[in-house]
Structure 1
Amino acid sequence: MKTNIFGLDTEGLAEALKPFKLPAYRTKQIAEWMYQKGAVHFSDMTNLPKKLREELEAAFDINRAKLVEQWDSSDGKTSKYLLEFNDGVAVETVLMRQPYGNSVCISTQAGCAMGCAFCASTVNGVARSLTRGEMLAEVLFIDDLLKKEDKKVDTMVLMGSGEPMMNYDEVMAFLHLMHEPYCKNFSYRNVALSTSGVVPGIYRLMEENLPITLSISLHAPNDTVRDKIMPVNKKWKIAEVVKAGKLYGEKTKRRVTYEYILIENVNDGEEHARELSHLLHGQLANVNLIPINPVTERALFRPSAERIQRFLDILTRQHISATIRKEMGTDIQAACGQLRNQYMKENDA
């Protein structure tokens, strides 16, 4: 059985290639072929001797991801891809064409175990965590598409299916690999990582001392509301989460984003806005208000435009930096988990 080497850094590659007794520069060549030039067969690596290419082809695989389904928004700005890995597990990856560049939203797990009431990713639980190579395959799939337009991935958000902090080691290995010059030379400053409030993970990330933007899915101003819609709050209460976010901002000098999904008659009242203002007062932070994306499996609804605007106005008057997220891909169910759930239903039928 052949070994998959896609996702290895040069150190891991050197270890895998030891039996071939290759000079050190060959390791970097192979990495560049896989990660920069998109090679999936050793026969494509033309600066390697032909005999070596044949030997490597017999010993190793370069497994990436296969496109299963694609949805494109009517305005052409958002595309959602269902990508399948070798074991049949599928995940969603989204390309968002923003005014400031192309952003890719990747999944870190297939499904999610966090159980948030408003999220489609949790409906079928978590199948498994993704490897660093599988996360990289998501990005390179999008990057290969953009190359045809003489464009590239400019920013990356780890906000798709899954909780990155529950797959911490592989997520960090993936980010380090993306940053390597022989891979994508991707700046940490162009990365945003979202967590549902796994406090130990926030502190671990803070100690990495990397300029990664942290997004915290808050979605409530108090424990009573958050307990109902986010089971994670029963382990790490809202005060602990906000304290961790505050310390992260102070240490990294990066503005923390608090994601707040507005749900009609659940967390969108004027008293909720005032409470949220008090909770975040004095923080280096921004609130990203997100009108809920309808999920058929959940009976939660979007507030009216008037209620959304009133919520924003209260935050602004209290000197809390806040914006309403510009919606992209609503017509293709671009919220994470929805395409995968449909695919699972069709394949179970």
Structure 2
Amino acid sequence: MTEQPPVRTTTPRQVRPEGAPANTGIRQVRPKTEGWQQAKDETGRPLLQFASPKRGKPPVHLADLTYDERVATLKKLGLPGFRAKQLEKHYFTHYTSDAADMTDLPASGREELVAGMLPPLLTEVRRLETDRGDTIKFLWKLHDGALVESVLMRYPGRITLCVSSQAGCGMNCPFCATGQAGLTRNMSAAEIIEQIVRANALIAAGGLGGKKSSDHSLDRVSNIVFMGMGEPLANYARVMQAVRVMVDKEHGLGMSARGITVSTVGLVPAIKKLADEDIPVTFALSLHAPDDHLRDELIPVNSRWKVDEALDAARAYFDKTGRRVSIEYALIKDMNDHAWRADLLAEKLNARGRGWVHVNPIPLNPTPGSIWTASEVPVQNEFVRRLNDAGIPTTLRDTRGKEIDGACGQLVATEEDEAAAEATPVG
């Protein structure tokens, strides 16, 4: 009988992330949820929700329609098409949906016309201020009781509004408060636009503090960032209708496309679609890790489209539009802020050419005792230095609204918010 060789038992080899130096003793914290249970699919992977759950749709609003559709709707009501321009001027220029302000419309049937074309969409539940009145967070209640937030910020020379595009979010990123409850529903184009109109009304009434005498910018929202609740490219059609209304100089808000930033965690097919829109918005990719080993855990959609696929799509956006891409990168202590990751990020970006990208690291908003906390200042500075030294323009981003939970990744309805919303009637 032939003697069999002894069976060797081995300890599974720990896989080192691509680009990571060996045996450095660098501390590596793994992503995990804290205080909530991450939803998983039948395979045990974090659940991704791309489709909006079925709920009652919001009423159709002027901003949901193209100009031709607005005219056609009015004609069906037996009214002349030119009333569309009158309604547009009141809503997009004077920021009002109040029929009493619209004295150029016939008194007979005015209330019904305005109620039908400009139905109420957002009910303000709460308003919190910080930064000496230069930052305001709004909590809005939608027609079906869903809650969303937006954040208004005055900077020297510009006013920025961070808008929500979904109630909740289906991307299930473990470090983002918004994704904890999953996706409630997509927002309509008009619900997105209404956040801007209501902000403009507040600004026009003097409700946003602190404009300096040397600041000659207009008193209205000049910059939009789709970085509130939701994954914008998962609500693609409605977000793009809202963007078209924003940039329409004749029948909309007349904003500059260059002042509008559309962000995504990496929905590659939608990034390619955005590049074909011929609307030169700023595109931002929320990357947060340059290696798939970490990003698979940090950004669950990375299981569908890997880092290199997302970066290739971002580069293609630049090639098609000529608009420099922003890379958003939340710096999290001992998790994704290692110097070697800065080097790997620079290597991947430079491999796709020069001059096409700008990196915006932002210190994560700290929570006492949590693994999710901001990188230490020397680590932040080293991360930025390495990118800049590699020829990648990099700017550490200012954080606004931390005190009112209005900063990046903090937008979520609390129990206190929900109690306030319960006591607030819609309308």
Shorter-chain TM range is over 0.9
- Tell me the amino acid that sits aligned with residue 72 of structure 1: E
Q: Contact 2:95–2:200 at 8 Å: present in 1 too?
A: no
Q: TM-score, normalised by structure 1?
A: 0.93
Between stretches 67-76 and 264-273, larger displacement belongs to 67-76
1:75-110: CA deviation from partner (whole Å, max 9, x where unpaired): 332111111122111111111111121011101001
Q: Report the equivalent of 1:42.
A: 99
Q: Report the equivalent of 2:61.
A: 5
Q: Give, in whole Å, the separation in 2 of the partners of 1:58 and 1:261.
A: 43
Q: Report the equivalent of 2:219.
A: 151
Q: Give, in whole Å, the separation in 1 of the partners of 2:253 and 2:109.
A: 26
Give the one of 246, 250, 271 matched to 1:202.
271
Q: Give, in whole Å, the separation in 2 of the partners of 1:59 and 1:269.
A: 55
Displacement of 1:59 in angstroms is 5.3
Q: Report the equivalent of 1:184.
A: 253
Matched, 1:231 2:300: yes
Q: Report the equivalent of 1:89.
A: 146
What is the aligned residue count?
Answer: 348
Q: Contact 1:3–1:61 at 8 Å: present in 2 too?
A: no
Q: Report the equivalent of 2:382.
A: 310
Alignment of 1:265-304 (within 5 A): 265-281=334-350, 282-283=353-354, 284-294=356-366, 299-304=371-376
Q: Contact 1:106–1:159 at 8 Å: present in 2 too?
A: yes
1:338 and 1:276, CA in 2 relative to 1: closer, same or farther beyond 3 A?
A: closer
| Aligned partner of residue 250 in structure 1, secondary structure | helix
**Root mean square deviation, CA, Å:** 2.3
Alignment of 1:1-349 (within 5 A): 4-7=60-63, 8-56=65-113, 62-149=119-206, 151-180=219-248, 181-281=250-350, 282-283=353-354, 284-294=356-366, 299-336=371-408, 338=410, 340-343=412-415, 346-347=418-419
Between stretches 131-140 and 279-288, larger displacement belongs to 279-288
1:297 and 1:157, CA in 2 relative to 1: closer, same or farther beyond 3 A?
A: farther
1:238-287: CA deviation from partner (whole Å, max 9, x where unpaired): 01000011111122111100001111111111111111110111241011
Displacement of 1:6 in angstroms is 4.0
Q: Give, in whole Å, the separation in 2 of the partners of 1:302 and 1:78.
A: 21
Q: Give, in whole Å, the separation in 1 of the partners of 2:116 and 2:300.
A: 45
1:345 and 1:53, CA in 2 relative to 1: closer, same or farther beyond 3 A?
A: closer
Q: Contact 1:36–1:184 at 8 Å: present in 2 too?
A: yes
Q: Give, in whole Å, the separation in 2 of the partners of 1:80 and 1:124.
A: 20
Q: Contact 2:258–2:280 at 8 Å: present in 1 too?
A: yes
Q: TM-score, normalised by structure 2?
A: 0.77
Between stretches 51-60 and 80-89, larger displacement belongs to 51-60
Displacement of 1:189 in angstroms is 1.5
- Tell me the amino acid that sits aligned with residue 246 of structure 1: R
Q: Give, in whole Å, the separation in 2 of the partners of 1:75 and 1:55.
A: 41
| Aligned partner of residue 209 in structure 1, secondary structure | coil
Q: Contact 1:196–1:216 at 8 Å: present in 2 too?
A: yes
| Aligned partner of residue 87 in structure 1, secondary structure | coil
1:341 and 1:62, CA in 2 relative to 1: closer, same or farther beyond 3 A?
A: closer
Displacement of 1:58 in angstroms is 7.2
Q: Give, in whole Å, the separation in 1 of the partners of 2:115 and 2:341.
A: 61
**Which ranges in structure 1 are unaligned for 5 or more consecutive residues?**
none
1:297 and 1:52, CA in 2 relative to 1: closer, same or farther beyond 3 A?
A: farther
- Higher helix fraction (1 or 2): 1
1:29 and 1:60, CA in 2 relative to 1: closer, same or farther beyond 3 A?
A: closer
Q: Give, in whole Å, the separation in 2 of the partners of 1:61 and 1:141.
A: 13
Q: Give, in whole Å, the separation in 2 of the partners of 1:58 and 1:123.
A: 35
Percent identity of equivalent pairs:
35
Q: Give, in whole Å, the separation in 1 of the partners of 2:262 and 2:115.
A: 38
1:338 and 1:322, CA in 2 relative to 1: closer, same or farther beyond 3 A?
A: closer
